Amino acid sequence: MAELARMVSPLDGQDMTRATVFPAPDHDHDSCASAAIMHAEEFCAARGQRLTPMRRQVLQALLASHKPLGAYEIIERLAQGGRLAPITVYRALDFLRENGLVHRIESRNAFVACVHHHSGGDPVVFLICERCGTVGEAPGGAMADALKQSCRAAGFAPKSPVIEIAGICSHCRE
């Protein structure tokens, strides 16, 4: 995993250090979250899409932390005792996922906001900390190539490779 942590990210061209995969527990998360909202706004505007109030609220709920939330947790947070049609939240989640602003963590049946501003097709390895629940995103280009080769050799057409690794993050290990 150390090799992976030092790899140059195809996501941003930035150095993929441990700190960028797993932000420190005391990092400035407010600026993290507002940067992600700003990116989402610019991203949608550039595509002629709208970050509607519901889409923004769902993204904001997920940006409360780097931990994934289930759809019902999002609905509960947004409803706050009031009424909210779950379908509107699901639709917003679909939109955010299709645009790479939110990822689905299959093994947790939950969603996490993307703070790496990469393009939707970039192969990503999700690193899920079993202690603090944080989800880190590591570049998965080399692994994706190897997987494609294995699939090709098996005559298998892969659809959506999802790579999720459970473990303990760099901060929880300290």
Pairing of strands 135-139, 124-129: antiparallel
Q: From start to end of 29-162, where are the E strands?
A: 102-105, 110-113, 124-129, 135-139
Which candidate, 131, 103, 104, places its Cα nearest to that of 11? Answer: 103
108 sits near Zn ion (criterion: CB under 5 A): no
Determine the Cα–Cα distance for residues 138 and 6; give it in Å rounded to an integer: 10
Structure tokens given for 174 = 């300290």
- Stretch binding Zn ion (CB under 5 A), from 26-34, 41-49, 54-62, 74-82: 26-34
- Least distance between Zn ion and beta carbon 27 (Å): 6
- Least distance between Zn ion and beta carbon 125 (Å): 11
Residue number, 25 or 86, with CB nearest to Zn ion = 25
Window 153-172: contact mask with Zn ion (x via CB under 5 A): ----------------x--x
Which candidate, 133, 136, 115, places its Cα nearest to that of 125? Answer: 136
Which candidate, 29, 1, 56, 8, places its Cα nearest to that of 134? Answer: 29
112 sits near Zn ion (criterion: CB under 5 A): no
- Least distance between Zn ion and beta carbon 153 (Å): 29
**How many residues bind to Zn ion according to rule CB under 5 A?**
11
114 sits near Zn ion (criterion: CB under 5 A): yes
DSSP-derived 3-state class of residue 15: strand
Residue number, 23 or 140, with CB nearest to Zn ion = 23
Given 7, 32, 37, 78, the residue binding Zn ion (CB under 5 A): 32
Residues 125-154 that bind Zn ion (CB under 5 A): 129, 131-132, 137
